[in-house]
Amino acid sequence: MMKTQFDSLRNALHDQGLDGFIQPRNDEFLGEYVPESASRLAWLTGFTGSAGLAIVLADRAAVFSDGRYTLQLVEQTDPATWERRHIVETPPVEWLKSAAPGARIGYDPWLMTANAVATYADAGFTMVPVDNPIDQLWADRPAPPASPALAHPPEFAGESAESKRSRIAEAIARDGADAVMLTDPHAVAWLFNLRGADLPHTPIVLCFALLRRDGSAIIFIDPARVPPATRAHLGAGVEIVPRAAMERSLATLRGKRVLLDPATAPIRFSQLLGDAGAITVSGGDPCVLPRAIKNPTEQEGARAAHRRDGVALCRFLAWFAEASPAGGQTERSAAAQLFAFRSTAPEFHGESFPAISGAGEHGAIIHYSVTAASDRPIRHDEVYLIDSGGQYPDGTTDVTRTLWTGPGEPPPTLRDRFTRVLAGHIALARARFPQGTSGPQLDALARAPLWDAGLDFDHGTGHGVGSYLSVHEGPASFHRLAKPIPLAPGMILSDEPGYYEPGGYGIRLENLLLVVPSPVGAAKPFLEFEPLTLAPFDRRLIDPTLLGPAARAWLDAYHARVLTMIGPHLDGATRTWLEAACAPLQEVN
């Protein structure tokens, strides 16, 4: 954004009697990914990370994000305009209390939840809902996405949309509500077995829905985006209503109790339901937990998707082992090669997120995004980190490997750091725990080997993953600050500890894990993890002396499984490479 536009924004705020304005990163669907047409934070600040917020005052402005994007904030924002703040160490409300106590702050009610607005109001600010002033200044704003809504067939979904609507409707009734407002497109996609292409890496259509306690429903979407086959798939119990007519439809809810999640829904829905005379009942999205617990069909689909993905990964790793010592590769060319290997599978529907392909110091930027300007050669004797994933109709993948480029030997300190990350990864992967255990209770397992050396990493250890949906899915996660959601059989989560040396290198090792019942446990049920990802870890970076017998046994068994499941699908030279990469570690006395 040019300075003149920034001045125009401040003038617009002044004309409305506002002291400032809050611009979150998200759009009205409050998801992690937003289409270009809704990337207001990027337009305003230049920051393109997946989590952030900006506050503009008359004489100061700050942009906030978490530890994943500390370096990216520095690279992408102008220090003459923006103060860069760590959103945990300096929460926006605390910064605002210091910068403009008691101020009148404008906000877009489509972009903030009731809980978020209350946080500022409780801190003494007068929160004023306004039409977003950025929309008037953004002259070359792209058109919003308009992909068709397509049916997700039962051979992948494992349950009909009618069955899902019925059981979620029963949950609504048990909560004493007449309907639920679904403001998360992922919930709409799961509940109605719909997929689309409104976002580059997440196969959803951006829309809202209302589900009644009798199982009937309304989807608020342009009817032109719903082909006849999809209408037939949805059935007579589902009405299609354009967004422009949503207020008129909500007016039929007068006197009805409508479930709405104040933590995830835009506050605008509270206002609309209030205007309609409905009674808003605060409660969580009833689709979140059922969506996270994959049914048997989805579990088998995840295994099949990861076998397919594993073939591409192992071909890439074999290629990289030969290509990196020869030189001539860059971050972009390596990522393109992995994309090409994945693309040979007919079922591949694109990446599940933009690949993080970082060599050397770029690997230390936790969510680094390579561009034509930042692309750099992958040099000899350095660390290369590749974090990527694929979308397949039967599953979503997410995997990270950290590789040594060679041809020389990695330094001992690097091997120490890598092996501590690997030890933490293994400790979490081989955990057994009683039913009722939550992710925050297990997070320390992945950090302990690093903590032993006074080291740590500034991101969560793992997140949930959808079934041909978002690569980042709630409600469970491995994070010290996460809600204690009990892990349940069928959940899929990532296991991705790391270590980052700013200006030097980054290490992250990630597999996806499926929660399954454990054969142990007499007094109460126990659970454990089944690794889904199938790709070897770079043994050149492993110091076996830092792994205990149990960890070495797990690694050898994991590599043997990779070889058994992937080896038969590889040609001679690549299979020979895989056999060496999956060989047992040397015994350590």
What per-residue confidence (pLDDT) applies to 12?
Answer: 94
Q: 70 falls in which pLDDT band (50, 70, 90)?
A: confident
The CATH T-level fold of domain 150-291 is Creatine Amidinohydrolase; Chain A, domain 1 (3.40.350)
What per-residue confidence (pLDDT) applies to 587?
Answer: 53
3-state helix, strand, coil in the chain (%, to 5): 40, 20, 40
- 457, pLDDT greater than 50: yes
Vertex 113: Cα angle to 134 and 84 (nearest 5): 55
What per-residue confidence (pLDDT) applies to 100?
Answer: 96
| Contacts with 169 (C-beta within 8 Å, 6 or more apart), sequence order | 211, 212, 213, 214, 215
The CATH T-level fold of domain 293-582 is Creatine Amidinohydrolase (3.90.230)
Q: 281 falls in which pLDDT band (50, 70, 90)?
A: very high
What per-residue confidence (pLDDT) applies to 481?
Answer: 84
User: Does this chain's domain 1-137 share its CATH topology with 293-582?
Assistant: no
Arithmetic mean of pLDDT, 87-115? 96
**46-50, 310-314, 427-431, 461-465 — which is least confidently predicted?**
46-50
pLDDT tens digits along 17-30: 999 999 999 999 99
pLDDT tens digits along 342-399: 999 999 999 999 999 999 999 999 888 899 989 999 999 999 999 999 999 999 999 9
- 400, pLDDT greater than 50: yes
Q: Taking all residues of the chain, what is their mean pLDDT, rounded to a whole number?
A: 95
Which 8-state DSSP code applies to residue 37?
G
pLDDT tens digits along 228-273: 999 999 999 999 999 999 999 999 999 999 999 998 999 999 999 9
pLDDT tens digits along 504-549: 999 999 999 999 999 987 788 999 999 999 999 999 999 999 999 9
- 588, pLDDT greater than 60: no
Domain definitions of the chain by residue range: 1-137, 150-291, 293-582
What per-residue confidence (pLDDT) applies to 589?
Answer: 38
Q: Report residue 253 as tokens.
A: 């809810």
- Alpha-carbon separation of residue 395 from 336, 339, 467, 510, 551 (angstroms): 21, 17, 5, 17, 28
pLDDT tens digits along 159-186: 999 999 999 999 999 999 999 999 999 9
Answer whether 541's CB lies under 8 Å from 415's CB: yes
- 287, pLDDT greater than 50: yes
Share of the chain above pLDDT 70, in %: 99
What per-residue confidence (pLDDT) applies to 482?
Answer: 86
pLDDT tens digits along 30-39: 998 899 999 9
| Contacts with 380 (C-beta within 8 Å, 6 or more apart), sequence order | 324, 325, 327, 405, 406, 407, 408
What per-residue confidence (pLDDT) applies to 525?
Answer: 94
CATH superfamily ID and name for 1-137: Creatinase/prolidase N-terminal domain (3.40.350.10)
